[in-house]
């Protein structure tokens, strides 16, 4: 998609669709922590992140990377997607393009749109849009079994246990979600990719 009007000649990306902001995300994380009777120190110890950083996240002062947010979700024993998706008992059915739930972790860098109807089924399907240079940050893993990534636009680099895969339009890669992995837009245009994760833990 065209990208125009950025400072210094760099093309500007599309406006990220609405998602919960950093303040709302922090409030949900704090509520989940308190629901587990866990202090900030305990959450920090379990996640391997600093207490100061977790405090900033809960107060909406910073937007955590995918890798950091995954560690926090694991420490709180919740699915990352639960922070964004409303309860829904459906396991099948139509999701129209205008009704997609949007998970915006780092506005202006990347966002995910949920194509599956809920977390109650056996898989989670996401359409991700990733700006040039944006990525997951440090390598991470999560307690799903497998994920498959299919690139619809752009050039995406994925690393799994240190092995790099460069995917272009039409390419797909499948790997265990429990292995350390990371991803990054390695090109100069937006990446659009489909992620299929089973079971639905992201």
**pTM score:** 0.67
Distance, CA of 200 to CA of 124 (rounded, Å): 4
DSSP string, the chain: ------GGGPPP-PPPPP---HHHHHHHHHHHHHHTT--HHHHHHHHTS-HHHHHHHHTTSS---HHHHHHHHHHTT--GGGGTSPP---SS----GGG-EEEEEETTTEEEEE-SS-SSSS-EEEEEEE-TT-B--S-B--S-SEEEEEEEES-EEEEETTEEEEE-TT-EEEEETTS-EEEEE-SSS-EEEEEEEESS--
Per-residue pLDDT of the chain (202 residues; tens, 9 = 90+): 333 233 333 333 444 444 556 677 888 888 888 888 999 999 999 999 999 999 999 988 887 887 788 888 888 888 776 776 665 555 577 888 888 878 776 777 888 888 988 777 788 899 999 999 999 888 888 888 999 999 999 999 999 999 999 999 999 999 999 999 999 999 999 999 999 999 887 7
Q: Which CATH class is domain 89-198?
A: mainly beta
Give residue limits of the domains in the chain: 22-78, 89-198
CATH code of the region 22-78:
1.10.260.40
**pLDDT tens track for 80-132:** 767 766 655 555 778 888 888 787 767 778 888 889 887 777 888 999 999 99
């Amino acid at each position: 998609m065209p990208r125009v009007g950025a400072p210094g000649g760099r093309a500007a990306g599309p406006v990220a669709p609405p998602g919960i902001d950093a303040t709302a995300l922090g409030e949900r994380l704090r509520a989940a922590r308190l629901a587990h009777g866990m202090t900030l120190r305990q959450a920090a110890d379990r996640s391997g992140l600093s207490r100061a950083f977790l405090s900033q996240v809960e107060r909406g002062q910073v937007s955590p990377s995918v890798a950091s947010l995954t560690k926090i979700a694991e420490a709180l024993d919740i699915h990352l997607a639960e922070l964004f998706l409303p309860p829904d008992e459906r396991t099948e059915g139509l999701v129209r393009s205008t009704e997609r739930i949007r998970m915006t972790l780092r506005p202006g860098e990347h966002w995910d749109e949920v194509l599956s109807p809920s977390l109650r089924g056996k898989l989670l399907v996401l359409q991700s849009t990733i700006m040039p240079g944006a990525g997951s940050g440090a390598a991470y893993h999560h307690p799903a079994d497998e994920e498959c990534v299919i690139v619809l636009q752009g050039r995406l680099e994925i690393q799994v246990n240190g092995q790099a895969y460069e995917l272009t339009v039409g390419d797909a890669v499948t790997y265990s979600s429990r292995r350390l992995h990371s991803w990054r837009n390695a090109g100069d245009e937006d990446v659009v990719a489909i992620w299929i994760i089973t079971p639905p833990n992201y």
